Chain A
């Protein structure tokens, strides 16, 4: 608990650093919010009107003052108002987040469900044909860009099965689970494909390492059958790198998967951030980045807790 408390105490500091970085860097991009918002009509504004709008959004002040105001709002849980949507930033983000979270979780389940067994299978058949096949598939999975897989899936579904996944709007899991799954399963497979490939490769190499460890020989010497040696004695020791990789990948996925969201026309966090940058919606960009950073911190913490759960030497402290 002590450890957990100390970790949580570092969160505000890291988030503060992230916010500083994003706040000032986005303002270095040329262009301003009002032009972006009104498009060609911005040219019709009189300087006075423009000034009034800038004052309304608070972007007439020096950047440092803006940052101070924003930070003060943040401490009260107020991330500001999105210029594009005319709603509080947090509300906009939370509307998009369930889709992103569900997509990331599904992708991870697919990746681990395929990747770990495939990696174990390859490792236990090292240098035999099964291993070679798995390695080729993993190489393919890692080197094929996500949009290719996504496009192929859409093509096959629509041309051969006449099935077009619902696009544009998102059906939450709790309103219609089937429609929700029908909508997300293909993007999840697209994301999970490459993810599974990396998991396979890392599980394979970790298992190969562990299988040559002394305690595996000990297990065999005491008559443990091969299957149990692999799953009971070796796998728990090989999971640490898999957890590390999964944590990093999952963190990225929680930031939204821009390309897959684009292909499947899903309103996720990735496109939200991208659009916000295009619109110079400063408050929304800051909100998104901060939210993603926060997610990363949480995921990293979970990864460290998972290490402790997996390895008693971490949990109890090695001598």
Chain B
């Protein structure tokens, strides 16, 4: 696809919800895709079709529907593996969401049943995250530190909203067991450069995880190229359904890790006093999985691939450049995050002098039908870093237009009129 063939109006037609009217005849201006994205007809129909014609449980059902359902579920895994450049489909583990994926990895550390040296964690060992993490990449590591007596440390964030790796060599050292960093910040929009951190991680023999929840939906991500050990992302932010997330991990690490949840389908054999486990990915997929959701996510990556991830990235860069231009210099508005569209995704968070984000969001929604997110966006430490309780966040996706950013700016002028 070249630039001319990216037709946002045609793309919008794929998303039925974008043409609905809100009560009072307001058109919908959806600028909250960083929270959760909308779904194209292709995904909705794939899920409907599966439920209507092919549905049954996967793996354990031997009848015709069982094999059709299993086939569709495993095909979805293959599509997702290809989408993120996973060397093997077996390295793609379906989880409930990115949070579960990160918890799964954290649980493998300092776990008495895991004898692999790389996962041993105790007092004196260190876990490294950053100040710009979503709570889902903070709390699981806090829990690990509490369980094991290890020390949790973190990279700071610069005033501009970039990861501060000035103390990389001190922060990541021989005591470090795992470094887990967000790929693209859900508040700042900042896209972090993984390679310098990874180089240091390799030097000290630690492992590295990347929370790619905000990057996989918006730019081409190739896990092999990234070179890290674990990558987590979630379906609902990438035009797929909620209830399905993905953990990608290196095969030999996944093999070394203990199961996370025990239950049906994750076993090889069970006796009353012990069990042996299925090979990956099934070792980590206890119980009936979110079958239709996984198939829906397969349709979502087909859709994104058909549009082209490079095209999506380019479109969002245009949008964020336009938005930064319109918002920078807006009276009383402070952008929290980089002011330039370099190494930056389509997420713009800001404060308006003297007006609480909840009031901003309420007026934008009620008067103009503009959906933004307000609050701390599950990144409270980052807001504390900037000395603010909350921000208003507009986040863009492939279906957004510059006209919608114009509407946002008009809405913000009105907000100032009401509260000024």
Q: Do A and B bind each other?
A: no
